[in-house]
Structure 1
Amino acid sequence: MELNIAAVSALCLCIIVSLFAITSAEDPYKFFDWKVSYGDISPLGVRQQGILINGQFPGPDINSVTNDNLIINVFNNLDEPFLISWSGIQQRRNSYEDGVFGTTCPIPPGKNFTYKLQVKDQIGSFYYFPSLAFHKAAGAFGGIRILSRPLIPVPFPKPADDYTVLIGDWYKTNHKDLRHQLDSGKILSFPDGILINGHGPNGASFNVVKGKTYRMRISNVGLQNSLNFRIQDHTMTLVEVEGTHTVQTTLTSLDVHVGQSYSVLVTADQPDKDYYIVVSSRFTSQVLTTTGILHYSNSKSPVSGPPPAGPTTDINFSLGQARSIRTNLTASGPRPNPQGTYHYGQINISRTIILSNSQGTVNGKQIYAINSVSYVAPDTPLKLADHFKIEGVFRPGSIQDKPTGGNIYFDTSVLQTDYKAFIEIVFQNNEDIIQSYHLDGYSFFVVGMEGGQWTTDSRKKYNLQDAIPRCTTQVYPKSWTAVYFALDNVGMWNLRSEFWARQYLGQQLYLRVYTTSTSVRDEYPIPTNALLCGKATGRSLGNVTIA
């Protein structure tokens, strides 16, 4: 048979092209359609208006694998604007999708917006929540889990099941009434209770089979209280914190501060019966407690006896536990290399920023501040003002690097920083309540926490070897917490109190990580579907696409 050289060459070329297409294929896509609406709920036995996603309270979990592209189309069926933010999901080069008002215009009532996220080089346990108008007090939050790629090992055997556990304090009062109280300058009363996955006492149940081990991804999605989590007659093994595998430690109870997420392994190694899962408030004179149920498959006995007691106001227990949480330097991360190869302790600090929280009254109204500045949101998202070069929306450097000690005043606080700098932030808490801070777009190394005032000598006690990287950290009363991180993610990033009334009344700012570069290697262009509002209304987006 005569060989057709041209045909063979064409066939070979097709095979090569096909192989190249396979090996260079784009990362997988996952699509979600979410309808946000009001609905009746009664988690604490009182009927109230909640915010549901696809009719669910809490909302549906997002299950993904590292590097997945998530396309989330959100329909707003509420009677007011709405936004969803992604706690801990580090949108690389793309703060436009962050879902807070400093970067993203709200979705108007009756309209929709499609978020385009990539969980790039991330693993672990996170959650989403509504960021506007005190909606968080009504629901619309849910869990996010990002799994490792199949060929990348995790440092523990595959669990029999994987449970999302959303805990948080809760009010029976409608979120609009709570918002009105804050707008009137009043302090909110103590919460009415605690929920586990949207349920009050003994409403949440988790099924286990004797002898098997289960993963629980615990997130504190509440409004203001640190919470302690424990399981009757069972221990827990801590394995992951906000995207980092930890040195595995055995715990009888775990403090989860507002905005934080943890993964623990629980082995069903007790007699077949039901056991209490207990969540209680920390550092409060009045202790809130709720219970769920760990249900063994062959159980014939309901929960019995008093729920196990936990710590209440003991700072030293919590501080000791926090210091014991370390990075597992031998475990793989999202990529197949040890997590400890990044030697953060050997990098020179280019800038130290000290942020001090405070509270007071102005014209008879309660307000909160950082470095004496109480944040005021302009009518135009800061990121859009930056993109369109709209003047009069914000001033870079409108908040100082150090506490001023002056009286509280109002401004749109933006902290100007340089791309690729390596910085230190010290959170100084001079108040007598615990604080919790979160930074969008980043994980930071929690290198130190201690009582009293921070000084340069405090660095002598820093952990410069295996500190845990995370996106939310607590600051104990009359204490400080120090973090290190590299400014490797260009954008406008929200740094805020996770005490939601404090955030709402001014205890937040934006970190402007700036570069003159216009390369998509440093920052993606504005999305073609971006909503425009305020002074950006009617502007042209141009023919831009995300690379």
Structure 2
Amino acid sequence: MPLNRAGNVLSAVLCITVFLFATVGAEDPYRFFNWNVTYGDIYPLGVRQQGILINGQFPGPDIHSVTNDNLIINVFNSLNEPFLLSWNGIQNRRNSFEDGVNGTTCPIPPGQNFTYILQVKDQIGSFYYFPSLAFHKAAGGFGGIRILSRPRIPVPFPDPAGDYTVLIGDWYKANHTDLKALLDRGKKLHFPDGILINGRGPGGASYTVEQGKTYRFRISNVGLQHSLNFRIQGHRLTLAEVEGTHTLQTSYSSLDVHVGQSYSVLVTMDQPGQDYYIVVSSRFTTPILTTTGVLHYSNSAGRVSGPPPGGPTIQVDWSLNQARSIRTNLTASGPRPNPQGSYHYGLINTTKTIRLQNSAGLVDGKQRYAVNSVSYVAADTPLKIADYFQIQGVFRVGSISSNPTGGGIYLDTAVMGADYRAFVEIVFENTEDIIQSWHLDGYSFWVVGMDGGLWTTASRNQYNLRDAVSRVTTQVYPKSWTAIYLALDNVGMWNLRSEFWARQYLGQQFYLRVFTPSTSIRDEFPIPKNALLCGRAKGRHTRPL
């Protein structure tokens, strides 16, 4: 049977199954996607590379959705190796089986498909998806996700004249297989070769606008390593939303977007009719990488000319002060009509403090990275599936400490236990000279504080307990700390990782097992009926179709 026809037939069968048996609400709309993942030649920096394409596109297609939509995404793997997609910022409420990382989901074998069944429950905002296995992220396979508010929910700004996805990231000319081989030999990656805007090198990305109108730009740093600064020549950026939270609409000349992060800005086209530079440059690096795109006024009288406008380079204080200025709009509605400020996180007593310290070192002569001295190694069976079937010997809860140990780096399948409905404080402690960026699947959290030096209990005196931004990824500056508050209201096995992708690949991640003894679907959905089973779970059975 031809590939497309086979995929369509299987998709149709699964769609019928979803309608008949899905546990998500039947009143919420469904959106269907059929994606074919292939290799293809790409030339983003002028050199031919093996890219990963989705339906022939690099980057992949955007996902447009509305709060509470059900997303049925049929992914056919036409690569010659296993493949998974993960959903940066999609919380997969009560359903970590669909998270698409190696600790939750079996890989899609070459020549086969898997249909993700996601619901963007009680979410709005700007996010992205990416390939999570091997070092596929260095080859593409990523794309934007936007979740619009439901029509009856007010949004704190007028509808923009246009809404653009802007995927920025550092990039290597080397194939992803070569980069992976380098890491597998225990070596570090060299400095990136350039920066891309929507998969294009210098001068390749262009956005057409009309003078006098306001546009929304959803900016995500999908790169591998570096924080980036985004700016538009002659225009101010009004911050509107950060990873699902409407913010105070502060105006900036440029914006630092750390790796893994997403921001929405509003830009009013209030300049004379001509073309303007869009500039993206690396932060805290030597040398500074820079690339440009073009903001094209429809009535433009001339092309961009002269040097691109400069921006901040290595200044940490500038970036720290900007990060502290990002606040939640307490009176705006989120995904529900009630104001975002109606949840008073600062009045809730924390039940536990977790301190996480990143480190780098050698294990058996090879480069590794760790959290609280543990460098993660993947098990032979996804942890969530092993947990569901109660397969012994795959992982051990408590294999990573909730505090820094101060010891040397060692290898383990790191899983930290946590209680459902606990309210915890997590402190990320960065004793290294690099900037870190941390992401937690399945959740958003309040970034209540960040500063230089060592964290102590006295650091809590400077926490923002009123209007801290709630987001899914946060930076930690060199030799600094960042503190977050987190309500553990989503049962499952959730990946907490460095977004510095070589560090994640070489162990700087672990899984947070949020557990309840309840077996009610009000707390957690059962394993999906179409779940792939692998490793020690192979031969077992999910619920019957």
Whichever residue aligns with residue 417 of structure 2, its letter is Q
Q: Using the TM superposition, give the Cα deviation of residue 217 of structure 1 relative to its aligned residue in structure 2, in angstroms.
A: 0.1
* Structure 1 CA distance for aligned equivalents of residues 302 and 46 of structure 2: 25
Q: Please report the TM-score for the alignment, with normalisation by the length of structure 1.
A: 0.95
- Secondary structure of the 2:248 match is strand
2:446/2:484 contact within 8 Å kept: yes
* Structure 1 CA distance for aligned equivalents of residues 476 and 452 of structure 2: 9
State how 1:69-80 maps to structure 2 within 5 Å: 69-80=70-81
Deviations 1:342-372 (A, max 9, x none): 0000001100000000000112110000000
* Structure 2 CA distance for aligned equivalents of residues 25 and 32 of structure 1: 19
2:527/2:543 contact within 8 Å kept: no
- Secondary structure of the 2:115 match is strand
State how 1:247-266 maps to structure 2 within 5 Å: 247-266=248-267
Whichever residue aligns with residue 352 of structure 2, its letter is R
* 2:376 aligned with 1:383: no
Whichever residue aligns with residue 220 of structure 1, its letter is N
Whichever residue aligns with residue 295 of structure 2, its letter is L
1:142 paired residue number: 143
1:282 paired residue number: 283
1:43 paired residue number: 44
Q: Cα gap change, 1:396/1:25 in structure 2, threshold over 3 Å: closer, same or farther?
A: closer
1:21 paired residue number: none
* 2:226 aligned with 1:225: yes
1:507 paired residue number: 508
2:86/2:100 contact within 8 Å kept: yes
Whichever residue aligns with residue 425 of structure 2, its letter is E
2:63/2:146 contact within 8 Å kept: yes
1:494 paired residue number: 495
1:17 paired residue number: none
2:169 paired residue number: 168
2:12 paired residue number: none
Q: Using the TM superposition, give the Cα deviation of residue 305 of structure 1 relative to its aligned residue in structure 2, in angstroms.
A: 1.5
Q: Using the TM superposition, give the Cα deviation of residue 540 of structure 1 relative to its aligned residue in structure 2, in angstroms.
A: 1.6
* Structure 2 CA distance for aligned equivalents of residues 46 and 423 of structure 1: 47
2:436/2:498 contact within 8 Å kept: yes
Q: Using the TM superposition, give the Cα deviation of residue 543 of structure 1 relative to its aligned residue in structure 2, in angstroms.
A: 3.3
Q: Using the TM superposition, give the Cα deviation of residue 139 of structure 1 relative to its aligned residue in structure 2, in angstroms.
A: 0.1
* Structure 1 CA distance for aligned equivalents of residues 330 and 364 of structure 2: 52
Q: Which runs of 5+ in 2 are unaligned?
A: 1-24
* Structure 1 CA distance for aligned equivalents of residues 132 and 287 of structure 2: 28
Q: Using the TM superposition, give the Cα deviation of residue 542 of structure 1 relative to its aligned residue in structure 2, in angstroms.
A: 3.2
2:44/2:201 contact within 8 Å kept: yes
Q: Which runs of 5+ in 1 are unaligned?
A: 1-23
* Structure 1 CA distance for aligned equivalents of residues 248 and 193 of structure 2: 36
* Structure 1 CA distance for aligned equivalents of residues 396 and 409 of structure 2: 18
2:127/2:243 contact within 8 Å kept: yes
Whichever residue aligns with residue 461 of structure 1, its letter is Q
Whichever residue aligns with residue 463 of structure 1, its letter is N
Whichever residue aligns with residue 91 of structure 1, its letter is N
- Secondary structure of the 1:182 match is helix
2:19 paired residue number: none
State how 1:117-516 maps to structure 2 within 5 Å: 117-516=118-517
Deviations 1:189-236 (A, max 9, x none): 000000000000010000100000000000000000000000001111
Whichever residue aligns with residue 193 of structure 2, its letter is D
State how 1:44-59 maps to structure 2 within 5 Å: 44-59=45-60
- Secondary structure of the 1:247 match is coil
Q: Using the TM superposition, give the Cα deviation of residue 25 of structure 1 relative to its aligned residue in structure 2, in angstroms.
A: 5.3
Q: Using the TM superposition, give the Cα deviation of residue 541 of structure 1 relative to its aligned residue in structure 2, in angstroms.
A: 1.3
Deviations 1:53-110 (A, max 9, x none): 0000000000000000000000000000000000000110000000000000000000
* Structure 1 CA distance for aligned equivalents of residues 386 and 473 of structure 2: 27
* Structure 1 CA distance for aligned equivalents of residues 396 and 142 of structure 2: 33
- Secondary structure of the 1:385 match is helix
- Secondary structure of the 2:138 match is helix
Q: Please report the TM-score for the alignment, with normalisation by the length of structure 2.
A: 0.95
- Secondary structure of the 2:284 match is coil
1:3 paired residue number: none
Whichever residue aligns with residue 356 of structure 2, its letter is L
- Secondary structure of the 2:467 match is coil
- Secondary structure of the 2:482 match is strand
Asked which structure has the greater CA Rg, the reply is: 1
Q: Using the TM superposition, give the Cα deviation of residue 475 of structure 1 relative to its aligned residue in structure 2, in angstroms.
A: 0.2
* Structure 2 CA distance for aligned equivalents of residues 27 and 210 of structure 1: 38
2:113 paired residue number: 112
1:6 paired residue number: none
* Structure 1 CA distance for aligned equivalents of residues 433 and 114 of structure 2: 41
- Secondary structure of the 1:56 match is coil
1:523 paired residue number: 524
Which sits farther off after the overlay, 298-307 or 448-457? 298-307
* Structure 1 CA distance for aligned equivalents of residues 184 and 30 of structure 2: 41
Whichever residue aligns with residue 284 of structure 2, its letter is F
* Structure 1 CA distance for aligned equivalents of residues 174 and 91 of structure 2: 33
Q: Using the TM superposition, give the Cα deviation of residue 285 of structure 1 relative to its aligned residue in structure 2, in angstroms.
A: 1.4
Q: Cα gap change, 1:25/1:85 in structure 2, threshold over 3 Å: closer, same or farther?
A: closer
- Secondary structure of the 1:248 match is coil
Q: Using the TM superposition, give the Cα deviation of residue 151 of structure 1 relative to its aligned residue in structure 2, in angstroms.
A: 1.1
2:528/2:543 contact within 8 Å kept: no
Whichever residue aligns with residue 69 of structure 1, its letter is N
Whichever residue aligns with residue 464 of structure 1, its letter is L
Aligned residues: 521
* Structure 2 CA distance for aligned equivalents of residues 193 and 466 of structure 1: 37
* Structure 2 CA distance for aligned equivalents of residues 390 and 93 of structure 1: 21
* Structure 2 CA distance for aligned equivalents of residues 196 and 156 of structure 1: 26
1:540 paired residue number: 541
- Secondary structure of the 1:301 match is coil
2:434/2:478 contact within 8 Å kept: yes
- Secondary structure of the 1:286 match is coil
- Runs of at least 4 residues off by over 6 Å: none
Whichever residue aligns with residue 276 of structure 2, its letter is Y
- Secondary structure of the 2:145 match is strand
* Structure 2 CA distance for aligned equivalents of residues 420 and 542 of structure 1: 27
Deviations 1:386-436 (A, max 9, x none): 001011100001000100000100000000000000000000000000000
Deviations 1:22-42 (A, max 9, x none): xx9520000000000000000
Q: Using the TM superposition, give the Cα deviation of residue 179 of structure 1 relative to its aligned residue in structure 2, in angstroms.
A: 0.2
Whichever residue aligns with residue 379 of structure 2, its letter is P
- Secondary structure of the 1:64 match is strand
* Structure 2 CA distance for aligned equivalents of residues 514 and 309 of structure 1: 49
* Structure 2 CA distance for aligned equivalents of residues 345 and 265 of structure 1: 29
Whichever residue aligns with residue 529 of structure 1, its letter is N
Q: Using the TM superposition, give the Cα deviation of residue 300 of structure 1 relative to its aligned residue in structure 2, in angstroms.
A: 2.7
Cα RMSD, aligned residues only: 0.7
* Structure 1 CA distance for aligned equivalents of residues 206 and 541 of structure 2: 51
Deviations 1:278-327 (A, max 9, x none): 00000001100000000000113110111010101000000000000000
- Secondary structure of the 1:512 match is strand
Identity %: 77
Deviations 1:475-524 (A, max 9, x none): 00000000001100000000000000000000000000000000000000
2:86/2:130 contact within 8 Å kept: yes
* Structure 1 CA distance for aligned equivalents of residues 201 and 543 of structure 2: 50
* Structure 1 CA distance for aligned equivalents of residues 452 and 543 of structure 2: 52
* Structure 2 CA distance for aligned equivalents of residues 160 and 385 of structure 1: 48
Whichever residue aligns with residue 427 of structure 1, its letter is F
- Secondary structure of the 2:141 match is coil
Deviations 1:122-181 (A, max 9, x none): 000000000000000000000000000111110001000000000000001000010000
Whichever residue aligns with residue 351 of structure 2, its letter is S
